[in-house]
Amino acid sequence: EPLLNYDATVASLRILMDGEGFGVSPRKLTLSTVGILPALEKLMLEPVRPNLAISLHASNKALRRELMPIEEKYAIEDVIAAAQRYPIPSGGVVTYEYVLLGGVNDTMAHARQLALLLRGSRAKVNLIPLNPAPEIPFLPPTPAAVEAFSRVLTGYDVMVSVRRPRGQDILAACGQLHLKRAAAPAPVAS
């Protein structure tokens, strides 16, 4: 979570965006956060800001609390309200990351709840179907569920993109890299 390491994150952003550093346009950088509100409010006052992505992964308090314990401290409605006040570079939109978990957060009711939370705001939802792996206790959504979820959001005039998985076959897709660990070498007998 970058906003839990605010000073280092902002120092890095300044270097990345500075013309004498890397010179990356703020429109080409995105900071992804679960919504640590005091730090997000502070970031809004910085002279140079990147785009903003908020990890939601749920459409209501109860489910978000189950999936993301940070909900206990920073409520989904407060996070969205703060994100909507965030001054996006060049009048862009806030991206909301939503990992679809089969049978957990991918129903039409969840899609409608999310659409109602975001309708009329500067928002884009990035739907990310879960990349399965034996160590992950969730299942991916069906392609039909992904399509239906997306249709509900667009029906409420919420912009949507669907991340297409790549690298699943070698456990290199989003969310899978931490699972592949190298085995420790066996001790050498002397």
The answer, yes or no, to whether residue 166 has pLDDT greater than 60, is no
Residue 187's pLDDT is 56
Burial letters for 115-127: b for 16+ Cβ neighbours within 10 Å, e otherwise? bebbeeeebbbbb
Residue 152 confidence (pLDDT) above 50: yes
Cβ-proximal residues to 146 (8 Å cutoff; 6+ apart), any chain = 100, 106, 127, 129, 162
Q: Do 42 and 6 form a contact (C-beta atoms < 8 A)?
A: yes
Q: Using an 8 Å Cβ cutoff, are 61 and 75 in contact?
A: yes
Does 182 score more than 90 pLDDT? no
pLDDT for 110-146, tens place per residue? 999 999 999 988 899 999 999 888 888 999 999 999 9
Give percent of the chain with pLDDT exceeding 90.
72
Q: What is the pLDDT of residues 2-40, one digit of tens each?
A: 999 999 999 999 999 999 989 999 889 999 999 999 999
What is the chain's length?
190
Spell out the alpha helix ranges (H) of the chain.
Answer: 6-17, 37-43, 61-67, 76-85, 108-118, 143-155
Q: pLDDT for 37-69, tens place per residue?
A: 999 999 999 988 899 999 999 999 999 999 999
Residues 6+ apart with CB under 8 A from 13: 29, 31, 46, 48, 49, 50
Separation CA 182–CA 184 (nearest Å): 6
